[in-house]
Amino acid sequence: MKTKAPVSKNERLDVTIADLTYQGMGVAKVDDFPLFIENALPGEEITIQVTKVQSHYGFARAISWQTESADRVKDVDKTYRQTGIAPLQHLAYPAQLTFKQHQIKELFSKAHQDVDVAETLGMANPTQYRNKAQVPVRMIKGQLETGFYRQHSHELIPLTDFYIQDPAIDEAIVKVRDLLRQFEIPAYNEISDKGVIRNIMVRRGYYSHEMMIVLISRQQKLPSQDQLVDQIHKALPEVTSIVLNVNAKKTNVIMGNVTRTLYGKPTIEDTLMGLTFAISARSFYQVNPQQTEKLYQMAIDKAGLTGAETVIDAYCGIGTISLALAKHAKQVYGVDIVPEAIEDAKVNAQKNHLTNVDFFVDKAEDQMIQWQASGIKPDVVVVDPPRKGLAETLIASTAKMGPKKVVYVSCNPATLVRDVARFQELGYEIDGPIQPVDQFPQTPHVESVTVLVKK
């Protein structure tokens, strides 16, 4: 028998916020029925209006506050919340760090696991940290605009200051936008599938200050292409690479498969952990280099290398962790599914004169099975998977190889909890506290390092 929700749409209620969800929304309960409310913090007493009712939960918006949390930040720009750029900006930074620690502890606790979670490692300046921007370009009232989509929509909100991005990148986007307007190059229209420029991507080296501009276009060649390129590198002296990426498909995927260098080099360089990396338009490189150094140093320290070990780095990308590990290990094997990333990784190994590392293109789970079959016996396996976590086959083949340690760098606590349980079934246990690292201040995302040892 279907039970009726205790609230109805448009109903106004006075509630007390009990908690935050992992997306950073406030939670209030009415007869154990949860309502999710944006811009609401634990402990606040609020008048809300119900906006949507599902069978087991609902959504509401805050109308007025009777009491406010001591952790509430005043004078925030609501645009950053509407676009999802900084959904936690209304929560004081020390409280954001506690929220992230609590989030990991809570998820393990729901899985009946009592784990020790250390305090989150934060940043001195938790804004202006991103070294990469991907912004949509659209026509609004006949003028080309750059900005960000309103959450859950394709309505572009024009923006020139992105708050969590390197200010030099914000400035570059405005200059490129103005030149596109000057040369009358039309923005893409996703409804008619007409127009030219879909997105602008900018990457900037945190240490090197080298800048790459990527113009993502529906066409193989831009109108006034040579003049535009000439004007971009004149307007932006840091630019060492201008790249055209062609995406002619009617799709939400940002980048296409064709990439051409229009000016300078196909890559920019930056340093991380004292190593030099070449970064191409499509390669994965951590967007917060200051925190990445803390995260990777933590992973290396926890691996406890003496120089005699064989290490596997699954999901190696352009070799950032692999090469840092190679300085402390006997031999490192890295695998990634993206061919360009592995090409970059091999170049990066040469750049840094590291010969004790081999890179392979494959799905991590398939390569692990091959390595296991060929008798490779790693002492340590490092995994840094995407949000969906590890494939069961990867966990199984890792356990069969029997490394003494697995160092799990996670960007999603929910899949971390699931994967740790699978490792525990195969004879591994958590060693020491889990260490959260705040890679994405002002957002609910949290990275962490967990060490698993063979019993």
Give the residue numbers annotated as catalytic, written as ranges: 411
Give the closest residue to 37 by CA, choosing from 8, 6, 16, 68: 16
Distances (CA, A) of 399 to 197, 395, 425, 455: 48, 6, 10, 11
The residues near 48 (Cβ < 8 Å, ≥ 6 apart) are 12, 13, 14, 15, 28, 35, 37, 40, 60, 61, 62, 63
**Whole-angstrom Cα distance, residue 42 to residue 163?**
25
Give the closest residue to 210 by CA, choosing from 253, 255, 163, 172: 172
How many CA atoms does the CB half-sphere of 427 hold within 13 Å?
A: 12
| CB neighbour class for 142 (10 Å; exposed up to 12, middle 13-18, buried from 19) | exposed
**Whole-angstrom Cα distance, residue 267 to residue 278?**
6
| CB neighbour class for 141 (10 Å; exposed up to 12, middle 13-18, buried from 19) | exposed
Q: Could you identify the residue written with the tokens 């996670």?
A: 410
Q: What is the dihedral of CA 149, 155, 161, 163, to 10 degrees?
A: -30
User: Are 132 and 210 within 8 A, CB to CB?
Assistant: no
**What's the start-to-end Cα distance of the chain, in Å?**
47
User: Are 316 and 325 within 8 A, CB to CB?
Assistant: no
Give the closest residue to 214 by CA, choosing from 227, 236, 199, 224: 199
Distances (CA, A) of 3 to 28, 41, 114, 220, 400: 19, 29, 34, 57, 48
User: Are 298 and 437 within 8 A, CB to CB?
Assistant: yes
**Whole-angstrom Cα distance, residue 55 to residue 57?**
6
Residue 224 corresponds to which tokens in the numbers above? 């006034």
Mind giving me the DSSP string for 40-109?
A: --TT-EEEEEEEEE-SS-EEEEEEEEEE--TTBPSS--HHHHHTTS-TTTTB-HHHHHHHHHHHHHHHHH
Q: What is the dihedral of CA 24, 30, 34, 37, to 10 degrees?
A: -30
